[in-house]
Amino acid sequence: MFCDWKSKASKRYQISVLIEMAAYVLILLGEKTLLGHHNPVGIELYALAALPTVPIIAVLVAVGIYLRDEKDEYQRDLMVQSLLWGTAGVLSISTFIAFLRVFGWTGSVSPFTEFIAFWILVSVAKTFHRMTNRVPTDE
């Protein structure tokens, strides 16, 4: 049986991430529509590039706030472990790609691959922890 207990910090974190991801999608869609009409230059270009970065930074801040506010130290420990798995995975992938380039590979990697790969790996690690920490029926 899965343990569905969620702390206040966990609920706040999930709501915060949902809002930030929704904002990210809306900003991207808005910018895509805008860029279909004209090509921005100068400050406008920088502003358009910076805007979708804001919710991404907000997600990272939300992770930091969760780790600060989570009172259940075991859950906090599992989150830190998941983040470390994500970081280790992304650094390994980046190093591998760097070596490919050094050895003459000329292909390209899509933008944001690292960030997406990081969250996929964190999610996989969290799922693994959830599976291996299933609690038996309460006595």
Partner 1 sequence: MNNRLRVLRAELGWSQADLATKLEVSRQSVNAIETGKYDPSLPLAFKIAKLFGKTIEEIFQETDGKQ
Provide the binding-site residues for partner 1, judged by CB under 8 A.
Answer: 3, 5, 7, 71-75, 77, 133, 135-136, 138-139
Q: Mark residue 112 as left, alpha or beta (left: phi above 0; alpha: psi -120 to 50; beta: remaining).
A: left
Nearer to partner 1, 32 or 71 (CB): 71
Nearer to partner 1, 11 or 101 (CB): 11
Nearer to partner 1, 42 or 138 (CB): 138
- Minimum CB distance to partner 1, residue 65 (Å): 19
Straight-line distance from the first to the last Cα atom of the chain, in angstroms, rounded to the nearest whole number? 13
- Minimum CB distance to partner 1, residue 91 (Å): 26
Cα–Cα distance for residue pair 59/68, rounded to 1 Å: 14
10's enclosing H/E stretch is helix 8-35
- Minimum CB distance to partner 1, residue 3 (Å): 4
- Minimum CB distance to partner 1, residue 104 (Å): 47
Nearer to partner 1, 37 or 71 (CB): 71
- Minimum CB distance to partner 1, residue 135 (Å): 4
Nearest to 14 by CA among 62, 50, 61, 54: 62
Nearest 5 degrees, angle CA 63-CA 68-CA 74? 90
Q: Which amino acid is at 6?
A: K
Nearer to partner 1, 106 or 132 (CB): 132
